[in-house]
Chain A
Amino acid sequence: SQTIHQWPATLVQPVGSPLSLECTVEGTSNPNLYWYRQAAGRGLQLLFYSVGIGQISSEVPQNLSASRPQDRQFILSSKKLLLSDSGFYLCAWTQGLVTEAFFGQGTRLTVV
């Protein structure tokens, strides 16, 4: 069966520090991968999605970037965090024959 791992679960980082959040999927190949953010009191905002290795689409311009170095690995990064980057970050995957998206457990990022 397929599983999705996301880490770390919580993270407190100072303003101006770098960020790296990792997401890996097991049990499937060539998934579509997504990074979402949930700010306090707001819904899900799609940040990035990827349909294959090295292929990244950005939905909103911001202080973050994403990379997909391997088929089932998706990384969210920042060179310098801002206070406004605080939120709950969710990784998800879909695949052609599967209709719904599957989510990781999320990372709670607090920028201080």
Chain B
Amino acid sequence: AQSVTQLDSQVPVFEEAPVELRCNYSSSVSVYLFWYVQYPNQGLQLLLKYLSGSTLVESINGFEAEFNKSQTSFHLRKPSVHISDTAEYFCAVKLIGAGNMLTFGGGTRLMVKP
């Protein structure tokens, strides 16, 4: 069975500083990888995804994530965060060719301070 580990439950950071949210997964088969963002009292929104091709994927608001197959990681990074990035971030995996269910990590709360 697959699993997803987000090592940090909370990440405090000052505005304009860089940030990295860590995600590691375990799976015996190939996976698709996702990052979702959740603002307070809202549903989850897809931030970015890795399906195939370039291992570095980017979102429209400056986040990027890199798929590292050897380390089974998909860490999320942003070089300079804004107050508006304060939210909860979830990493998720989906087994390729094995149904449609996503498995989520425990989430990381990003807290951007002025």
Residues of chain A touching chain B, judged by Cβ–Cβ distance below 8 Å, are 6, 32, 34, 42-44, 46, 49, 88, 90, 92, 94-96, 99-106, 108
Q: How far is the CB of A9 from chain B (nearest CB, A)?
A: 8
Of B20-28, B73-81, B100-108, the stretch lying at the interface with chain A is B100-108
Q: A102 CA to B107 CA in the complex, in Å?
A: 17
Contact A43 B106 (CB under 8 A): yes
Q: A93 CA to B36 CA in the complex, in Å?
A: 14
Number of B residues near A (Cβ < 8 Å) is 22
Q: How far is the CB of B74 from chain A (nearest CB, A)?
A: 14
Contact B104 A43 (CB under 8 A): yes
Known pairs A99-B94, A103-B44, A106-B43. 19 more at Cβ < 8 A? A6-B43, A43-B104, A43-B107, A44-B104, A88-B41, A90-B44, A92-B44, A94-B101, A94-B102, A95-B100, A99-B32, A99-B49, A100-B46, A101-B92, A103-B43, A103-B45, A104-B43, A105-B42, A105-B43
The 4 tightest CB contacts between A and B, nearest first, are A43-B106, A103-B43, A94-B100, A103-B44
Q: Known contacts A95-B100, A103-B43; is A43 also within 8 Å of B90 by CB?
A: yes
Per-position 1/0 for B85-110, Cβ under 8 A of A: 00000101010000011101111000
Report if B67 contacts A (CB, 8 A). no
A104 — which chain B residues lie within 8 A by C-beta?
Answer: 43
- A-B residue pairs in contact (CB < 8 Å), sample of 9: A32-B100, A43-B105, A44-B107, A95-B100, A100-B49, A100-B94, A100-B102, A101-B44, A106-B42
Residues of chain B touching chain A, judged by Cβ–Cβ distance below 8 Å, are 6, 32, 34, 36, 41-46, 49, 51, 90, 92, 94, 100-102, 104-107
Q: How far is the CB of B92 from chain A (nearest CB, A)?
A: 8
Q: How far is the CB of B76 from chain A (nearest CB, A)?
A: 15
B45 — which chain A residues lie within 8 A by C-beta?
Answer: 103
Within 8 Å by CB of B102, from A6, A43, A101, lies A101
Q: Known contacts A99-B49, A99-B51, A100-B34; is A44 also within 8 Å of B43 by CB?
A: no
Q: A44 CA to B92 CA in the complex, in Å?
A: 10
